[in-house]
């Protein structure tokens, strides 16, 4: 598709939507029509048609058009070449095409550049068409100069410049291209910027590339992007994401890069990937500055905001961590997962954190998949537990506690011995789960051997419960410290990066 055709389509698309004309506008046009303006007659007739009004101030649409034609005929007879051209066009599209064409030819001879351009565009003989284009250009018709430039290569640059001076968008575009090729960046910028103002929106992007001022470039790229020019969106994305030519907004920059790829129907988006790989550096020490970074969807900024909130009130940073995770911050996905009520609920966030490079999250993601029945994940957890990792053993035990309770207890015992407070608490709860005071209903008399054994077993479970719960608290397990079993241990909140669900 030629650039000229693209321009015509874009100008048509960029035009304002037709607003329903109001009474005051129609009445004003009718008054101007009565005063001798043929253009006002046409405008008033069109407005009456659009509003489905049969008559206004004694004028019907047909009467207004007839009066406009009479005015043009009178003006043509008085020597107005352009009036002859307009009257000729009316006749050409009416009942007397031959008379209309003759009147347009007369308008050209009388000095109407528009009349000469019309004849040139409808002339089948190339040499005669060139002569008519030349005459139209000489008479000041800018588009005639531009079309002549495509035929007269010796005067091409001169004609492009003349067309641009006459406000022909395509002339400015072609002049800009030639100046850019010759190394005249300043001149090319001027031409492309004017073409942009004349609604050749691809030229807005060309002008933005050549702009010396980043703020001007940002405006020009924005105009191109608003018109769905992919390159405009792509160039604007870089400026917005890095704060060049205006305030930075990282998230909006990512959106613009993605929009550029969408407009190109691209399967991959290298620019978007590159931007995400190199986010701005984060330096914030208070909620206000961290919130600003988070509003830009900078993951590390949202994470810093979450950390600040957590420092003042437990579990108050959850929403910030989730925002950070959505922005692609792996540590925040992990922190968000830790706040879930169950391992099953936390699984997707652990998986995303793992995909974003958080290796510790991969262990938790395996635990969630193992709990969901994955034999592969369960074997991976078993191997990790074999390496004496207390965290892995504790997670492995959670994954198998319903299917292999004895193995789960062994794993928890190993994890507790190697420093997992949560595993120690699990062992305590196992002892509690077997019940206190439910094994022996001993009377006043001498106890039987069986009763003494049951009573001793209950005492051991009671001791195990207190011992494991106290040890869990010593290992900074907040849930254990809140239990009366850890009676002489200091109370504390849940340690950072420990699961709420465990």
State the DSSP string of 463-486.
HHHHHHHHHHHHTT-HHHHTSGGG
Token pair listed for 252: 């909006």
CB 294 within 8 Å of CB 324: yes
Q: How far is CA 30 from CA 24, 52, 75, 445, 461, in A?
A: 10, 16, 18, 120, 102
Instruction: Write the CB contacts of 197 (distance below 8 Å, at least 6 apart in sequence).
Output: none
* pLDDT at residue 459 in the model: 84
In a domain, 94, yes or no: no
In a domain, 231, yes or no: yes
In a domain, 363, yes or no: no
What CATH code is carried by the domain that includes residue 220?
A: 1.25.40.10
**Segments forming the whole domain that contains residue 269:** 211-278
The DSSP-derived string for 266-324 is -S--HHHHHHHHSPPP----SHHHHHHHHHTT-HHHHHHHHHHHHHHSTT-SHHHHHHH
**For the chain, give me the number of helices (H) and strands (E)?**
29, 0
* pLDDT at residue 434 in the model: 52
Token pair listed for 156: 């091409």
Angle at 400 between CA 486 and CA 414, to 5 degrees: 50
* pLDDT at residue 14 in the model: 41
**Dist CA 195 CA 184 (whole Å):** 17
* pLDDT at residue 482 in the model: 79
CB 117 within 8 Å of CB 141: yes
pLDDT, mean of each 10-residue run, the chain (502 residues): 44 44 87 92 92 91 91 92 92 84 94 95 95 96 96 95 97 97 97 97 98 97 98 98 96 97 94 93 93 95 94 89 94 93 93 94 93 92 86 91 91 91 90 56 70 82 89 86 65 62 77
Rounded to two decimals, what is the model's pTM? 0.73
* pLDDT at residue 8 in the model: 40
* pLDDT at residue 427 in the model: 92
- In the numeric block, the tokens 């290298």 are attached to 270
Distance of CA 313 to the CA centre of its chain: 33
Helix (H, G, I), strand (E, B) or coil at 94: coil
In a domain, 230, yes or no: yes
Quick count: other Cβ atoms within 10 Å of Cβ 20? Answer: 8
- In the numeric block, the tokens 């019940």 are attached to 435
* pLDDT at residue 449 in the model: 82
In a domain, 163, yes or no: no
In a domain, 351, yes or no: no
In a domain, 272, yes or no: yes
Q: How far is CA 308 from CA 20, 280, 291, 302, 492, in A?
A: 55, 20, 11, 10, 18
Instruction: Please count the structural domains in the chain.
Output: 1
In a domain, 310, yes or no: no
DSSP state of 493: P
């Amino acid at each position: 598709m030629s650039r000229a055709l693209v321009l015509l389509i874009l100008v048509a698309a960029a035009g304002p939507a037709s607003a329903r004309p109001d009474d005051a506008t129609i009445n004003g046009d009718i008054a101007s029509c009565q005063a001798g303006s043929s253009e006002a007659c046409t405008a008033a007739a069109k407005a009456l048609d659009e509003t489905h009004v049969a008559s206004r101030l004694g004028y019907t649409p047909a009467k207004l058009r007839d009066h406009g034609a009479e005015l043009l005929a009178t003006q043509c007879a008085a020597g107005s070449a352009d009036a002859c051209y307009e009257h000729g066009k009316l006749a050409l599209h009416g009942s007397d095409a031959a008379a209309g064409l003759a009147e347009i030819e007369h308008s050209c001879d009388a000095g109407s550049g528009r009349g000469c351009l019309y004849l040139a565009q409808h002339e089948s003989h190339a040499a005669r068409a060139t002569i008519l284009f030349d005459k139209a250009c000489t008479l000041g018709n800018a588009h005639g100069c531009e079309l002549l430039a495509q035929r007269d290569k010796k005067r091409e640059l001169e004609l492009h410049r003349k067309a641009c001076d006459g406000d022909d968008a395509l002339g400015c575009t072609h002049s800009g291209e030639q100046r850019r090729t010759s190394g005249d960046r300043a001149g090319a910028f001027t031409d492309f910027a004017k073409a942009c103002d004349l609604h050749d929106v691809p030229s807005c992007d060309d002008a933005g590339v050549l702009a010396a001022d980043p703020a001007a470039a940002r405006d020009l790229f924005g105009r191109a992007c608003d018109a769905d020019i992919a390159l405009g969106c792509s160039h604007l994305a870089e400026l917005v994401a890095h704060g060049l030519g205006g305030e930075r907004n990282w998230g909006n920059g990512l959106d613009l890069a993605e929009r550029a790829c969408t407009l190109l129907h691209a399967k991959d988006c290298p620019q978007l990937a590159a931007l995400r790989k190199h986010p701005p550096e984060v330096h914030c020490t208070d909620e206000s500055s961290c919130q600003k970074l988070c509003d830009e969807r900078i993951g590390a900024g949202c994470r810093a905001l979450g950390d600040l909130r957590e420092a003042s009130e437990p579990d108050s940073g959850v929403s910030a961590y989730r925002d950070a995770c959505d922005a692609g911050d792996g540590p925040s996905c992990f922190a968000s997962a830790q706040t879930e009520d169950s391992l099953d609920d936390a699984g997707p966030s652990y998986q995303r954190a793992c995909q974003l490079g958080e290796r510790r999250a991969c262990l938790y993601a395996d635990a969630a998949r193992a709990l969901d029945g994955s034999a592969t994940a369960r074997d991976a957890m078993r191997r990790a537990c074999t390496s004496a990792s207390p965290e892995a053993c504790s997670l492995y035990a959670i994954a198998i506690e319903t299917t292999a309770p004895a193995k789960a207890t062994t794993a928890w015992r190993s994890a507790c011995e190697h420093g997992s407070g949560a595993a120690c608490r699990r062992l305590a709860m196992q002892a509690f789960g077997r019940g206190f005071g439910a094994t022996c209903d001993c009377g006043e008399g001498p106890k039987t051997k069986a009763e003494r054994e049951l009573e001793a077993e209950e005492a051991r479970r009671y001791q195990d419960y207190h011992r494991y719960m106290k040890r869990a608290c010593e290992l900074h397990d907040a849930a254990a410290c809140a239990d009366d079993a850890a009676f002489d241990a200091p109370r504390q909140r849940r340690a950072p990066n420990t699961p709420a669900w465990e």
